[in-house]
């Protein structure tokens, strides 16, 4: 896999790839390496997960062997990830049920990213997302998680809880969401324990940075 980097006016890296499981692993590593070069290793775990999801969606919904491109772009306090492919079929989270792989993938983007979307291009489409890399990231993460959990319907949830049971309901949803994410990591061939360890390390590093 080869790519090129543009440093003006923003930091930007373009990584062409082929939609195949082995190539997705290489793409993930290349993205992490690039972020380390830019001096933002704290964003690597989150970006790695999003790159995996975006690239895997190309494999599943465009077709194995399809040509695609990942673009990393550092925009001030945000890191933008875009995956371009030659299909004009747009992702549709509103039509995905809770058991659909693409539905879970899109909800994962919504949970982790500050913002995300999809646009048609001259040759196909681009699916993009942005994550925060500023010092106030923890507060925004908490706000995003609360928003996601309030609308999350896990297997153990029925109708939304009354206001008095909101905190308990969010706690139960958090447990179910974490369990679903562990199932997702195992289905992608990842080690759930390793993912949990990395998440803990990421959390501790950010907590130390915020306390400094």
pLDDT digits (tens, 9 = 90+) for 141-200: 666 676 677 666 555 545 444 444 445 667 777 888 888 888 888 888 888 888 888 888
Residues 16 and 99 in one domain: yes
pLDDT digits (tens, 9 = 90+) for 19-45: 999 999 999 999 999 988 888 777 788
Domain coverage including residue 77: 1-134
Q: Which of 78, 109, 134 is the last residue of a domain?
A: 134
Last residue in a domain, options 106, 134, 162: 134
Bridge partners of residue 4, in order along the sequence:
14
| Tally of domains within the chain | 2
The pLDDT score that the predictor gives to residue 108 is: 73
| pLDDT given at position 173 | 77
The sign one gets for the Cα dihedral 101, 85, 30, 20 is positive
Both 160 and 107 in one domain: the answer is no
pTM of the model as a whole: 0.61
Domain boundary among 93, 113, 134: 134
Segment 129-149 shows an average pLDDT of 68
Predicted confidence at residue 65, as pLDDT, reads 92
Q: Which residues contact 173 (CB under 8 A, 6 or more apart)?
A: 149, 150, 152, 154, 157
């Amino acid at each position: 896999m080869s790519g090129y980097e543009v440093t003006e006016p923003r930091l930007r890296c373009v990584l062409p790839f082929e939609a195949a499981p082995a190539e997705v692993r290489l793409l993930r590593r290349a993205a992490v390496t690039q972020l380390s070069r830019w001096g933002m290793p704290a964003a690597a775990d989150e970006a790695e997960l999003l790159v995996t999801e975006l690239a895997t969606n190309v494999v599943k919904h465009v077709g194995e062997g399809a040509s695609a491109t990942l673009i990393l772009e550092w925009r001030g306090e945000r890191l933008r990830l875009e995956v371009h492919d030659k299909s004009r079929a747009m992702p549709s989270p509103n039509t995905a049920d809770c058991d659909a792989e693409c539905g879970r993938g899109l909800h994962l983007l919504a949970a982790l990213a500050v913002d995300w979307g999809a646009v048609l291009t001259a040759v196909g489409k681009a699916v993009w997302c942005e994550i925060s890399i500023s010092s106030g990231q923890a507060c925004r993460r908490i706000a995003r998680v609360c928003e996601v959990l309030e609308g999350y319907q896990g297997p153990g949830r029925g109708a939304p809880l009354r206001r008095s049971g909101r905190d308990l309901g969010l706690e139960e949803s958090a447990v179910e969401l974490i369990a679903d994410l562990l199932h997702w990591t195992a289905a992608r061939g990842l080690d759930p324990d390793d993912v949990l360890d990395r998440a803990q390390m990421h959390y501790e590093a950010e907590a130390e940075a915020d306390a400094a």
